């Protein structure tokens, strides 16, 4: 999702490599393909639940692959996640907060941050949250597919809170950051926050789909991977402000401004 939106935002002024073009777990291939380049590393094992049963694969892509990309690049921007945090705070997480991932996926991304920083001093780590966009599996597409034609109720957890982020908006922010001399860590996510249930209700309302939604707790809807209960991102370093997630949802659904 994000890679495709970066290509669109750059209007062709980038070289986009698919997994078929470059396996980031191959260090030699990364060196050959990326030497001397500024790289926005969107490659990721993003199956949060799947990583619980195959943590080695998640680590190979998200951590060792990140190291390979960072070692090869002149400058690297690594895309990380709110899932590097435990979710025990009651106010937004900022860049200096300690990492404490709850899942194998979160641990692999935390390791990827460290690997990137160790391999290339000219790095920028971008933590974002609850990505949705065109061209990939995401919560919005899942809710629309489940709700259409369904007669029974849909249950969605209401005790996990984060910042839904439209990849089209994130891509527009990443391009100037890639061209800047900014270093370190930045939090860049959709403005405002909500629960998954609130997000689902807004998705269906704005899409004009009538479906019965019922809130439930995480305990009532268990998943293989633990998620942080509260992973809202804020910035103490002046990260770029993105539009509200509602605006991103309108853009995704094609609602005119």
- Torsion 210-191-15-18 (CA) sign: negative
For residue 102, the Cα-to-chain-centroid distance in whole angstroms is 16
Q: How many residues does the chain have?
A: 257
3-state secondary structure of 229: coil
Q: Which domain holds residue 98?
A: 2-253
Paired tokens of 79 = 């895309």
| pLDDT tens-place values along the chain, 257 residues long | 999 999 999 998 899 999 999 999 999 999 999 999 999 999 999 999 999 999 999 999 999 999 999 999 999 999 999 999 999 999 999 999 999 999 999 999 999 999 999 999 999 999 999 999 998 889 999 999 999 877 678 999 999 999 999 999 999 999 999 999 999 999 999 999 999 999 999 999 999 998 899 999 999 999 999 999 999 999 999 989 999 999 999 999 997 75
Write the CB contacts of 148 (distance below 8 Å, at least 6 apart in sequence): 209
Please check whether residue 29 is in contact with residue 18, taking contact to mean a CB–CB distance below 8 angstroms.
no
Q: What is the CATH number of the domain that holds 80?
A: 3.40.50.720
Structurally, the chain folds into a number of domains equal to 1
Catalytic residue check, 105 = yes
**What kind and span of H or E run contains 166?**
strand 165-166
Which among 83, 93, 105, 230 is annotated as catalytic?
105
- Token pair of 56, please? 């080695």
127 three-state secondary structure: strand
Q: Are 221 and 48 in contact (CB under 8 A)?
A: no
> Would you state the pLDDT for residue 12?
80
Residue 16: CB atoms within 10 A of its CB come to: 13
Tell me how far apart the alpha carbons of residues 68 and 150 are, in angstroms, rounded to a whole number: 45
């Amino acid at each position: 999702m994000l890679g495709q939106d970066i290509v669109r935002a750059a209007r062709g002024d980038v070289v986009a490599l698919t997994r078929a073009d470059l396996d980031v777990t191959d260090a030699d291939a990364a060196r050959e393909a990326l030497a001397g380049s500024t790289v926005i590393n969107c490659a990721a094992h993003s199956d949060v639940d799947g990583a619980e049963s195959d943590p080695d694969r998640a680590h190979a892509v998200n951590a060792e692959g990140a190291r390979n990309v960072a070692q090869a690049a002149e400058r690297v921007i690594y895309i990380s996640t709110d899932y590097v945090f435990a979710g025990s705070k009651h106010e937004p997480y900022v860049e200096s907060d300690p990492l404490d991932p709850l899942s194998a996926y979160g641990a692999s991304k935390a390791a990827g941050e460290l690997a990137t920083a160790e391999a290339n001093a000219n790095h920028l780590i971008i933590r974002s949250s609850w990505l949705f966009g065109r061209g990939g599996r995401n919560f919005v597409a899942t809710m629309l597919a489940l709700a259409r034609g369904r007669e029974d109720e849909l249950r969605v957890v209401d005790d996990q809170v984060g910042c839904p982020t439209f990849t089209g908006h994130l891509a527009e922010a990443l391009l100037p950051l890639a061209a800047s001399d900014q270093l370190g860590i930045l939090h860049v996510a959709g403005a405002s926050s909500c629960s998954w249930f609130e997000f689902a209700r807004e998705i269906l309302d704005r899409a004009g789909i009538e479906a019965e939604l019922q809130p439930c707790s995480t305990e009532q809807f268990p998943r293989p991977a633990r998620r942080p209960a509260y992973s809202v991102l804020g910035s103490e370093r002046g990260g770029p402000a993105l539009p509200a997630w509602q605006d991103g949802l309108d853009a995704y659904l094609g609602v005119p401004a």
